[in-house]
């Protein structure tokens, strides 16, 4: 079975309060994005890895590759104005013989082999699988009269990689963009496909804020 992964790394770093996009920040001796790519290479070194970057940072990424002697083979393409467009650009770089396609956030460098495997296995069987974890916090739904409690047992926190059979995701992304799309699952679901849930790993955080870098370093030191 031929498998590919599109790693989307178009973040600006604005919520980190830094000028450099978060995917390029150094985490335990190398950029976040290199950790992310290594996760998938170490899981399966035959994966076709497609990296989607803002066009303005492609030269910078190439300089990092030389600086850190990063040798994992991957294909780079330009990002789009939205995540939807970025993924679509990534899909254009994948050959027609790919059976399964994963899409992953570049700022999630701590995804486990087990999570990736869970999603590939379920997607191969069902056509569409995403990793989720339980909600620990209490939840409230905003209403016209204020808010009301909801049962957190009915909700899950969604992670990546989100994995699909190639024909499912390619056909879904042939639709036009809708502002309601927040991830690949929402695109595929809008195309009429059911989304199946697989177990994620709690360490698979998305680095968004400065505190996330501290947490990620602690996870690498003490868990992974």
Residue 162, CB half-sphere, CA atoms under 13 Å: how many?
Answer: 22
Q: Given a cut of 80, is residue 27 above it in pLDDT? A: yes
Give the pLDDT score at 136. Answer: 95
**Tell me: the pLDDT tens digits for 123-166?**
999 999 999 999 999 999 999 999 999 999 999 999 999 999 99
Q: Which of 165, 75, 186, 155 is nearest to 120 (CA)?
A: 165
Q: Given a cut of 80, is residue 17 above it in pLDDT? A: no
Query: What CATH number does residue 57 fall under?
Result: 3.90.550.10
Q: Is the peptide bond before 86 cis (omega within 30 degrees of 0)?
A: no
Kindly report the pTM of this predicted structure: 0.94
Give the pLDDT score at 16. Answer: 54
**Tell me: the pLDDT tens digits for 59-115?**
999 999 999 999 999 999 999 999 999 999 999 999 888 999 999 999 999 999 999
Domain of 133 in residue numbering reads as 3-222
Cα 38 to Cα 109: distance, rounded to the nearest angstrom: 9
- 222 confidence band (pLDDT: 50, 70, 90): confident
Q: Given a cut of 60, is residue 20 above it in pLDDT? A: yes
Tell me how far CA of residue 95 lies from CA of 43, 172, 175, 205, in angstroms: 21, 17, 20, 30
Give the pLDDT score at 10. Answer: 77
Q: Count the domains in the chain.
A: 1
């Amino acid at each position: 079975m031929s498998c590919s992964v599109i790693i989307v790394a178009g973040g600006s770093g604005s919520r980190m309060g830094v000028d450099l996009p978060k995917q390029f920040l150094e985490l335990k001796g190398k950029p976040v994005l290199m950790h992310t790519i290594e996760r998938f290479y170490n899981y399966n070194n035959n994966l076709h890895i497609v990296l989607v970057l803002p066009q303005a940072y492609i030269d910078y990424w190439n300089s990092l590759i030389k600086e850190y002697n990063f040798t994992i083979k991957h294909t780079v393409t330009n990002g789009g104005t939205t995540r939807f467009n970025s993924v679509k650009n990534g899909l254009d770089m994948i050959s027609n013989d790919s059976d399964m396609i994963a899409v992953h956030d570049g700022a999630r460098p701590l995804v486990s082999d087990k999570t990736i495997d869970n999603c590939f296995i379920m997607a191969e069987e069902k056509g569409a699988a995403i990793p989720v974890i339980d909600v620990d916090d209490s939840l409230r739904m905003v209403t016209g009269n204020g808010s009301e409690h909801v049962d957190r047992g009915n909700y899950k926190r969604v992670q990546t990689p989100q994995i699909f059979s190639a024909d499912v995701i390619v056909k879904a992304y042939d639709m036009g963009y809708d502002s309601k799309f927040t991830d690949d699952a929402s695109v595929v679901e809008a195309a009429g496909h059911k989304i199946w849930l697989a177990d994620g790993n709690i360490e698979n955080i998305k680095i968004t804020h400065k505190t996330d870098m501290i947490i990620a370093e602690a996870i690498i030191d003490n868990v992974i």
